[in-house]
Amino acid sequence: MIVRDFELPDAALAFLGHLEVEKGYSPATVVAYGRDLEQFQEYLQSRELTLETPDAVTRAHIRGFMADMHRRRTAKSSVARKLSTLRSLFRYFAKSGLVSSNPVAGVKNPKQDQRHPKALNVDQALALMEAGVSAGPRGLRDLALAEVLYGSGLRVSEALGLDLDDVDLGSSVVRVMGKGSKERVSPLSDASRERLRRYMTEREEFTSSVTEKALFLGDKGGRLQRRQANRILERLAKLAGLPEHVHPHMLRHSFATHMLESGADLRSVQELLGHERLTTTQRYTHLTLDKLMRVYDQAHPKSGVKRHKK
C-alpha cells in the first residue's frame, strides 16, 4: 500500500488508507494527500505538536500553517489544496472520535488569482496531430496518444490507464476510469479511431507478453508512464513548429475550448470531461467569450472598438 511510504502517525496513515481503499482515490492523489500531511506534521513539530494528538490542533495552528506557506511563497492554488486535505483529514478524525471539533472549519481558502487554462488554437492542434507521421510503432503510438487526448478530452492519467478491453473501435467509444474511480464512456473521433487501429496492429512490437493489458505501451514494454507521455507531446510540438511548451493537459483544455467554440453546450462538455461540478467546466467559457468579443469588435460597425484606443 502507498501509505507505508509516509512518516506519519498511525491515525494519519489510517486516513490515507481510507482514501486509497474505501474511497478509491488514485495513487497520485493519495501521494499528494500524504505529502500535504507530512508538511503539516513538520509545521506542527516546529510548534512542539503532532498529529498523534490531533485534538490539540486549533484554528490558530491552521492559520499559522497558512501564514508559513505564504512566507514560503507557496502558490495560492497549492495552499487551497493543502487546506482541502486538512479539511478531509479532520472530518475523518471527527467521525473516528479523535477530535471534538474541526479546526479547519470556517477557515477560508486564499483568494485565487484569475488563471485560465491555456489551449492551442485549432490550426495548432491539427498541426500537432500531423507532426512526425511515421509508419513505425513509436510514431503510430505517439500520434494515437495525442489523438485520444485531444479527440476525447481525456486526462493523461485516464489515457495511460486504458486497457485494450476499454476500447471499442466498432462503436467508436472508450471506457474511462476517471477521478474517484468513476467510470464514464467517451466517444472517439474518426481520427482517433483510425490512429488507434493502426497503432494496435503494431502494438506487439513493444512487447511479446500476451498478459499485458495496457493500451499504450512504453519503449520497454510496460504501461506508458506520464513522464514519457510528456516527452512525446514535447517532441510532437517541436516537430509541428509550435512556439510554446505543450503538455498533455493542454490538449484536454483545447478539446473543451474547441467544443464550446463549435456550439456544444456547457453541460455536455462537463459530461465529456468527467467534471463533477459545472463550475470547473466554466473555466473554459472565458476563452470563447474573448474570441467572440474580438470578432465583434472587428466585424460590427457599432462595436465600440474605439474604446480600446487611448
Q: How confident is the model at residue 291 (pLDDT cuts 50, 70, 90)?
A: low
Segment 73-89 mean pLDDT: 90
The reported pLDDT for the residue numbered 261 is 79
Chain Cα centroid distance, residue 251: 11
The reported pLDDT for the residue numbered 114 is 55
Q: Which residues, at least 6 apart from 208, have a Cβ–Cβ distance to it below 8 Å?
A: none
For residues 112 and 40, which has the higher predicted lDDT (pLDDT)? 40
Out of 175, 179, 247, 291, the active site residue is 179
Q: How confident is the model at residue 300 (pLDDT cuts 50, 70, 90)?
A: low
Structural domains of the chain sorted by starting position, each given as residue range(s) with its CATH number in brackets: 2-95 (1.10.150), 122-245 (1.10.443.10)
205-to-98, 138, 160, 162, 202 alpha-carbon distances in Å: 54, 9, 18, 18, 6
Q: What angle do CA 284, 286, 291 make, to 5 degrees?
A: 110
The reported pLDDT for the residue numbered 64 is 93
Q: How confident is the model at residue 287 (pLDDT cuts 50, 70, 90)?
A: low
Percent of the chain with pLDDT over 90: 41
Q: Is there a catalytic annotation at residue 116? A: no
Residues 201-248 have pLDDT tens digits of 999 899 878 889 999 999 888 999 999 999 999 999 988 888 768 888
State residue 295 phi and psi, 5-degree precision. -60, -40
Residues 158-176 have pLDDT tens digits of 999 999 999 999 988 899 8
The reported pLDDT for the residue numbered 133 is 61
Q: Cα(190)–Cα(97) distance, rounded to whole angstroms?
A: 54
Q: Cα(174)–Cα(214) distance, rounded to whole angstroms?
A: 13
Q: Is there a catalytic annotation at residue 155? A: yes
The reported pLDDT for the residue numbered 307 is 44
Segment 135-145 mean pLDDT: 89
Q: Is there a catalytic annotation at residue 81? A: no
Out of 59, 249, 283, 291, the active site residue is 249
Grid cell digits, residue 39: 508538511
User: Do 273 and 253 form a contact (C-beta atoms < 8 A)?
Assistant: no
Residues 100-139 have pLDDT tens digits of 888 998 888 777 655 556 788 888 998 998 886 666 899 9
Q: Cα(86)–Cα(98) distance, rounded to whole angstroms?
A: 14
Q: Is there a catalytic annotation at residue 111? A: no
Out of 81, 118, 223, 275, the active site residue is 275
The reported pLDDT for the residue numbered 298 is 65
Out of 155, 195, 203, 253, the active site residue is 155
Quick check: pTM over 0.85? no
For residues 113 and 52, which has the higher predicted lDDT (pLDDT)? 52
Out of 141, 203, 252, 253, the active site residue is 252
